Amino acid sequence: MTYPKIPLAQTVVQLCKAKNIKHIVISPGSRNAPLTIGFTHDEFFTCYSIVDERSAAFFALGMAQQLNEPTAVVCTSGSALLNYYPAVAEAYFSNIPLLILSADRPKHLVGIGDGQTINQKNVYENHILYSANLKLDLKDEHNIPEHEEIPIIKNLENKFERLLGIQKDIQTNNEEEINAAINVAIIKKGPIHINIPFDEPLYETVEKLSVSPKVIEPVVKSPKIEEHTIQSCLEDWNSATKKMILVGVNSPDSIDEVWLNELAQDDSVLVFTETTSNMHHASFFPSIDQIITPLNVDELKALQPDILVTFGGLIVSKRIKQFLRKYKPKHHWHIDLKTANDTFFCLNNHIEMIPNSFFSLFLPKVTHYVKSNYRDTWSVVKQYRIKKHKEYLEDIPFSDFKVFHEVLKDIPRNYILQVSNSSAIRYTQLFSLSKTLDVFCNRGTSGIDGSTSTAIGCAAVNQKPTILVTGDLSFFYDSNALWNNYIPKNFRIIVVNNTGGGIFRILPGHKNTENFDTYFETNHELTAENLCKMYGFSYQKALNNEGLQKELTTFYKVGKQPKLLEIFTPRQINDEVLLNYFEFIK
């Protein structure tokens, strides 16, 4: 087998292999050549070549999101690793195990004006779980003193011993740092950065390994909860007549159905689920904004819970955040193994467990259901909202709202639905989805920058077909995502093109002025058609509801290429249709 000659590169590659990191996304470059040689010449690894570093990192994030195991991205020195930063931040806040392997110049070439060189040490300092800054191997020419006189044999022996000792210390340090970094990604589920200095020559290879790095296995501690904590929670739970459970971003099938049924049987419990929660039950309350937005002050006070239990990732709904910040519960428990965000400024109990494990310990000990009309009252409201929702859809013109209704109800069963941020995820929240869909959105930082790349990374490793539903700005912002040789033929994209940032028309501001149109809404006349021609996508478009329904009849059929459907909606009525919706369903 062919290996890079540099021992440090061999060490990195061998430890990734030992820790079962199979997927390696490589951004082509020269300084990272030793790593590229090591990964691509070993059949254990599946390697991907993606030129745009920002897209490459989100592509890797999409894979890690689905696999729930570390995926690596490899880049050259300089600004390359800065382009990874948006995905690093997303991985940090979304608990996704992403490995950044950045090649660097030797320390003596940093800060002297050498080309393609920046200060790479700890560059992701505020958004990383572990930064390993490795040490440069000693070069062969450093080990063989030049201009030494042959008779001075004793001095040569002493110098060799000293250099060998230094190299041994360097190798030990590097092995320990690499092990520690990767173990953190495995255990804590988040991004880590390994910065790897290489000196030239970079492309030399050998047929035999020169190092055999020590593998340090990750130590996983089983989470435990004290019995007195359980008892304290039970006392509060059993006395509260209004209990609300709010679920954010959550992996599919992560909560056993027996516990969902248990919660659904308790009349004192309301379970609010976001689209990204991947939790379904007839008694739960999806479409949070649909319930809350039309409420008056008295109704909001009646909804105020005694106990709020949260788990999962970040919350999309601004209205539920505003509500709970103003009408605070007496108790707020957050169940999470790692973090507890005080989102509503009233957190008083961080239960450091996996939510399913907590429910399996806690719910069997709830011996009785407290008498309450909390859920029944709001179930009536829910049914009324659903009725009014259906009525509203019958009369509205072709618009973003109408399009999301048609698109979301038409997605085939058992698809993975990736949704971009901004308007797309907020519209999606207003509709009930099939429980057979697995829903994902980059809510860690809520950016529009990598949604398409993430969706393609997801599609590359999951056998289920994937569809991305996205707005136009998010799509064009990340159009280099299509510069990718790993897109499955069953991958689908729906672009809702309202020729600008439509969400800003809903927010306070002076609409329909030159300043607003240029700097807030960012009007444009771009379409995806030529991008599809360039990148080998089958292109379809719709201009009205009849055209949309016609295109949807063929959109999911098997084809020779991935497909993109672009739906053009009228820019200036979308905000009115949405705002009128909340008035109508009151």
| HSE-up of residue 34 (Cα within 13 Å, Cβ side) | 28
Query: What confidence score (pLDDT) does residue 508 get?
Result: 57
- Count of domains for the chain: 3
Mean pLDDT of 161-170: 77
Determine, yes or no, domain membership for 124: yes
CATH of the domain at 446: 3.40.50.970
- In terms of Cβ atoms closer than 10 Å to its own Cβ (0-12, 13-18, 19+), residue 283 is middle
- Compute the C-alpha angle 207/208/209, nearest 5°: 135
Query: What confidence score (pLDDT) does residue 367 get?
Result: 85
Determine, yes or no, domain membership for 209: no
| Shared-domain flag, residues 353 and 400 | no
- In terms of Cβ atoms closer than 10 Å to its own Cβ (0-12, 13-18, 19+), residue 439 is buried
| Shared-domain flag, residues 50 and 94 | yes
Q: At 342, which amino acid appears?
A: D
- pLDDT, tens digit (0-9, with 9 covering 90-100), for 351-378: 999 999 999 999 999 988 999 999 999 9
| Shared-domain flag, residues 310 and 192 | no
pLDDT interval class at 232 (50, 70, 90): very high
Mean confidence (pLDDT) of the chain: 93
- pLDDT, tens digit (0-9, with 9 covering 90-100), for 318-335: 999 999 999 999 999 999
Is 77 in a helix, a strand, or coil?
coil
Query: What confidence score (pLDDT) does residue 166 get?
Result: 84
| Shared-domain flag, residues 349 and 402 | no
Residue 136 pLDDT > 70: yes
- pLDDT, tens digit (0-9, with 9 covering 90-100), for 530-542: 999 999 999 999 9
| Shared-domain flag, residues 467 and 540 | yes
Neighbours of 55 (CB within 10 A): 28
Domain boundary among 164, 187, 202: 202
Determine, yes or no, domain membership for 189: yes
| Shared-domain flag, residues 527 and 414 | yes
Mean pLDDT of 437-451: 96
Determine, yes or no, domain membership for 384: no
Listed as own residue / partner, the contacts of 351-354 with beta carbons closer than 8 Å and 24 or more positions apart are 351/225, 351/229, 351/233, 352/223, 352/225, 353/223, 353/225, 354/223
Return the structure tokens found at 394: 């019958």
Mean pLDDT of 284-297: 96
Query: What confidence score (pLDDT) does residue 61 get?
Result: 98
CATH of the domain at 320: 3.40.50.1220
Predicted TM-score (pTM) of this structure: 0.93
Is 457 in a helix, a strand, or coil?
helix
Determine, yes or no, domain membership for 354: yes
State which residues form the domain around 101: 3-202
Return the structure tokens found at 328: 């605070």
- pLDDT, tens digit (0-9, with 9 covering 90-100), for 77-128: 999 999 999 999 999 999 999 999 999 999 988 888 888 889 999 999 999 9
Determine, yes or no, domain membership for 212: no
| Structural contact between residues 574 and 498, judged by C-beta atoms closer than 8 angstroms | yes
How many residues appear in the chain? 586
Determine, yes or no, domain membership for 213: no
Query: What confidence score (pLDDT) does residue 507 get?
Result: 59
| Shared-domain flag, residues 400 and 373 | no
- pLDDT, tens digit (0-9, with 9 covering 90-100), for 54-71: 999 999 999 999 999 999
| Shared-domain flag, residues 187 and 281 | no
| Structural contact between residues 89 and 314, judged by C-beta atoms closer than 8 angstroms | no
Residue 247 pLDDT > 80: yes
| Structural contact between residues 490 and 465, judged by C-beta atoms closer than 8 angstroms | yes
Query: What confidence score (pLDDT) does residue 84 get?
Result: 98
| Shared-domain flag, residues 518 and 417 | yes
Query: What confidence score (pLDDT) does residue 445 get?
Result: 96
| Shared-domain flag, residues 254 and 329 | yes
| Shared-domain flag, residues 569 and 457 | yes
Instruction: Say how far residue 248 (Cα) sits from the centre of its chain.
Output: 13
Determine, yes or no, domain membership for 214: no
Residue 511 pLDDT > 90: no
Residue 277 pLDDT > 90: yes
Query: What confidence score (pLDDT) does residue 109 get?
Result: 87
Domain boundary among 318, 351, 379: 379
Q: What is the spatial distance between Cα 61 and Cα 319, in angstroms, rounded to a whole number? A: 29
What percent of the chain clears pLDDT 70, i.e. is strictly above it?
92
Mean pLDDT of 305-310: 98
Query: What confidence score (pLDDT) does residue 561 get?
Result: 97
Mean pLDDT of 425-429: 96
| Shared-domain flag, residues 553 and 405 | yes
Least confident range from 14-18, 115-119, 280-284, 510-514: namely 510-514
Query: What confidence score (pLDDT) does residue 165 get?
Result: 74
